[in-house]
Amino acid sequence: MKKRSLATIFVLATIAASGAFAQGGFQDPNAPQVQHHQKGDFKRGGFVNGEQTLSKAADATSWVDDQYVILQGNIVKQVGKDDYIFKDASGELQVEIDRKAWRGQDISPSDEVKLYGEVDKSWNKTEVDIDRVEKIVK
């Protein structure tokens, strides 16, 4: 009886968790397409400062650790679980985008985006940890 109850709970928890994490992200056109439907999607609001200046990927060598940057361009490729190549008119840069930063949006390489994040400098590379991905609608 106890084994059957535990098995039932395990199966139900697995089913519930499998649909809970489908919340947008990078859409590679070369990968097989999978449809994700999300129940209860909603948009969260907040303050938007239109006076913030954009940073360029080519300026990454002059950025300091923990500096806040805003990038505008395209996410062109996924290179790791949370690592992506961002490209703007000045060049390319590796960025790290956690699942929460996508905010339910599906982004493809042809979509122009604004990325809000913080510089993470280490000994041999500069990366940007992205807090928010904003799709630019034209």
Residue spans of beta strands (DSSP E) within the chain: 25-26, 68-78, 83-88, 91-97, 106-107, 112-121, 126-135
Instruction: Name the residue type at position 53.
Output: T
- Dump pLDDT digits (tens) for 17-69: 555 445 577 777 776 665 555 555 555 666 666 677 899 999 998 999 999 99
Percent of the chain with pLDDT over 70: 69
Alpha-carbon span 64 to 54, nearest angstrom: 16
β-bridge partners, 77: 85
- Dump pLDDT digits (tens) for 71-94: 999 999 999 999 999 999 999 999
